[in-house]
Amino acid sequence: MKKLKRQWQYHLMLLPGVILIFIFAYIPLYGVIIAFEDYNPALGFSSPWVGLKNFEYIFSQPAFLRTIWNTFFIAVAKLIGGIVVPVIFALLLNELVSNRLKRIFQTLIYIPNFLSWVIMAGVLIDILSNTGVINQFLGIFGVGPVNFLGNASIFPWTMIVTDIWKGFGFGTVVYLAALTSIDPGLYESAILDGATRWQQIRYITLPLLMPTIILMLVLALGNVLNAGFDQIYNLYSPIVYQTGDIIDTYVYRLGIEQAQYSVGAAIGLFKSAVSAVLVLTSYILADKCAGYKIF
C-alpha cells in the first residue's frame, strides 16, 4: 500500500492501457461461446448450443493434426533461426572497422523487413520459379531446377529461410545496440590478458548479450503457434498442404472462406489454449535456466 502511495503516478499512466485491454481483450472473451454453438449470425449468441460437437468435428479431420505439427515445426525453426542468424550478423557487423560501411549494411538488411508479405510473395514466386534467378544460378552448377514452392519436402524450409531473411535485419539492429552497451574496458583488460578475438566473443560478448537474447526469445515464444499466416497464405498451394498447411491457413479456409464461424472459433480457442501452456512453460524455463523474469 505504501508502495502504491509512492508510485501512484505510474499506476495512473498505466490505467488507460489497462482499460483498453479490458475492453478490447477481456470483454470479447465472452465470444468464445461461439465455439460451443451452431452459430447463426441472425440469432447471435443465443444460437443453438451444441457442446463439444465442433471440437469433435475438427479432431475427426485428418488434416487437423498435421496442421498442428506443421505449425509447430515451422514456428520453432523460425524461432531458432530468427535468433541465431541476427546474433551472428550483429557480431560480424560489430567487427567492421568502418562505421560508414556498418551503417550501410545495417540499412540494407533492414529494408526487407518493411515490405508486406503480399508484395514479397509476388517477388519470391518469380525469383524462386524454375526459370527464376536462383534456379538459373543453380543451373550453372548443374543442379535443379529445384521447385522451391511446389515440392512438399522443400516448401517448409523455403518458408523458414525466406522468413528469417526478411526479418533478421530487425534482430540485428537490436543486438547491435546491445553490443554497443558493453563496457569497452572489459575487452581492453581481456586483450591485456592475451585473449584472442574468439575468446573475447566466447567469454565477454555472448554472456553479456544473453539477457537480450533471452528477452527476445521469451517475447517470440508468445507467437510459437503463429507460423506466419500472411507469408504462407500468399505462397502455398494444394500440393504443399501436407507440410505447409498451418493452423491459421486451415482456419482461414475452413472458417472464413466458408463462413463456418463456430468451427473457426473452436480451432482458434484450441490454439489459444495450447499457446497459453507453451508460453507458461517457456517462461518457467527461462526463469529456471537463465534466471530471467519479466514479472
Partner 1 sequence: MKKRKKVLAVLLTGCVMAGLLAGCMEQGTSGGSSKSNKEAVEIPEDPWDPYEETVTISTVLPENAGIQFAEGDSYDDNPWYRAYKEWFNIEVVNDWVSNDYDTKLNLTIADKSIPDVFCVDAQQLRQLKEADMIYDLTDIFDEYASDLLKGYMEQESDTFETGHLDGKLYGIPQLSYGIIDQPNQIWIRKDWKENLKLEDPQTMDDVIAIAKAFQENYGGYGLTENQDLDCFKMLAVAWGAHPDIWVETADGSLGYGSVQPEMKEALEAYTQWYKDGIVDPEFTTKDLEKMLEGEISEQTGVSPYYQYWGYDPGPSVVQNLGTDAIFEPYKIPSANGEEVLANVTFANYGYIVVSKDCKNPEAVLKLLNFYAHVMDEGDQEDTEFINELFGNAYTNIPYALRVINPDTDYNQFIKVTDTLAVSLDEDPATLGKDGVKYSNCVDFIKEGASTGVGDYLQQGGPKSAYRISKEIIDNEEYIRDAMWGPQTETLLSAGSTLDDILIEGFTKIIVGEESIDYFDTLVADWESAGGAKATEEINETYGNN
Positions touching partner 1 (CB under 8 A) are: 5, 8, 12, 15, 19, 40-44, 57, 60-63, 125, 129-130, 147, 149-150, 152, 237-242, 253-254, 257-260, 263
Nearest by Cα to 266 from 33, 30, 27 = 33
The Cα–Cα gap between 12 and 138 comes to: 60
Closest approach of partner 1 to the CB of residue 129, in Å: 6
Closest approach of partner 1 to the CB of residue 72, in Å: 20
Closest approach of partner 1 to the CB of residue 26, in Å: 13
Residue nearer to partner 1 on the CB measure, 93 or 149 = 149
Residue nearer to partner 1 on the CB measure, 129 or 275 = 129
Residue nearer to partner 1 on the CB measure, 35 or 254 = 254
DSSP code of residue 47? S
The Cα–Cα gap between 159 and 237 comes to: 13
Closest approach of partner 1 to the CB of residue 147, in Å: 7
Residue nearer to partner 1 on the CB measure, 217 or 240 = 240
Residue nearer to partner 1 on the CB measure, 1 or 97 = 1
Half-sphere exposure (Cβ direction) of 25: Cα atoms closer than 13 Å = 6
Contact 174, 86 (CB under 8 A): yes
Q: How far is CA 218 from CA 2, 81, 191, 272, 274, in A?
A: 32, 15, 34, 17, 16
Closest approach of partner 1 to the CB of residue 98, in Å: 41
Q: How many residues does the chain have?
A: 295
